[in-house]
Amino acid sequence: MSNAVIKLPPGRLSAIKDAYRSNEVPPKAPSVTFTAKLPDVTVTAYNSGKVLFQGAGAAREAARWGETQPAKTASGAKGDALPEGFAARSVLGSDETGTGDFFGPITVAACYVPSDKIALAEELGAKDSKQLTDAAMRTIAPDLKAAFAHSVLTLPTEKYNDVQAKGWSQGKIKALLHNQALRHTLRKLGDERPDAILIDQFAERGVYYRHLKDEADIVRDGVLFSTKAEGLHVSVACASIIARVAFLEAMDELSAKAGVALPKGAGSGVDEAAAKILLKKGPEFLKSITKAHFANTKKAEVLAKRKIKE
């Protein structure tokens, strides 16, 4: 399906509505102000001023109203070569977060964005999560979850520590979670199938599937891997936001449990916070809310001993 997007001022939006009034159909989302269906193109106008043209006649109709906005792609992405026009296709994307944080779980999400709802995802604010604040993602995520088929998984720190102690690498843990999130989302789609599945790449294809070799149900058909996948299809951007908010909500719960706002990441501030928790609540409690094998554990122990001596 061909897609074209233009951005127009309010006056021109009125002109589009007048031009396509005889082909008007009811809008399907609150963010849509006008929809029209022609024999070979669907015209969708959004509250933001963006107008999406979809279908064989997309380029023809868009050219009547202005210059189309070029598709944004991730610079320097590495991985599988993606088909032409990939950003406009129906794609199931997956991403994870929390892997580099000492405190808190790993969360993985998969999200399906069909081609006819790509503009809706963008209208709701989906973009590379690195361009969004945590507060913005907390606002956006509920709308994305309501609009799109998705699955989000949270691996608690206690479970993480258990499987890590058994020799599971983070790569294996992530592969299992991605595969499960993808399976869950595909199940929700019923007979509908995406044009492709895009995983934000954290391992080479062969390594990823070796991690899954003992699984009974492995998602393989149509799977593509790429780094910087959030910039290649909005479905991965949606998945990233949903996963991030699940991580933030888990951190809220752990912070309440610890009685202090837990810092993110794995830097020196995390060491300081961990040392204070260690002194106040003991090593078993600290382990229960952290990825215990991280070097931060030893650093916190050294800091705690130093504080005791002081």
pLDDT in tens, the chain (310 residues): 466 778 887 778 888 888 999 999 988 767 788 899 998 888 888 877 788 888 778 888 888 887 665 545 566 788 888 888 888 899 999 999 999 999 999 999 999 999 999 989 988 988 867 778 999 999 999 999 999 999 999 999 999 999 999 999 999 999 999 999 999 999 999 999 999 999 999 999 999 999 999 999 999 999 999 999 999 999 999 999 999 999 999 999 999 999 999 999 999 999 999 999 999 999 999 999 999 999 999 999 999 999 887 7
Fold of 86-253: Nucleotidyltransferase; domain 5 (3.30.420)
Q: Can you give the pLDDT at residue 63?
A: 85
**C-alpha–C-alpha distance, residues 32 and 109, integer Å:** 26
Is residue 229 within 8 Å of residue 255, measured between CB atoms?
A: no
State if pTM tops 0.85: no
Is residue 203 within 8 Å of residue 211, measured between CB atoms?
A: yes
The token duo for 12 is: 């021109």
Q: Can you give the pLDDT at residue 3?
A: 67
CA angle 36, 60, 50 (to 5 degrees): 55
Query: Domain map of the chain by residue range?
Result: 3-63, 86-253, 266-309
Q: Which amino acid is at 173?
A: I
Q: Which CATH superfamily is domain 3-63 in?
A: TATA-Binding Protein (3.30.310.10)
The bridge status of strand 32-37 relative to strand 91-97 is unpaired
CA angle 101, 248, 224 (to 5 degrees): 70
Tell me how far CA of residue 286 lies from CA of 9, 258, 263, 268, in angstroms. Answer: 55, 9, 13, 16
Residue 303 neighbours by CB distance under 10 Å: 20
Q: Can you give the pLDDT at residue 58?
A: 81
Q: DSSP alpha helices (H): ranges in the chain?
A: 10-19, 58-63, 118-123, 134-147, 157-165, 170-189, 205-211, 234-258, 268-281, 283-288, 296-309
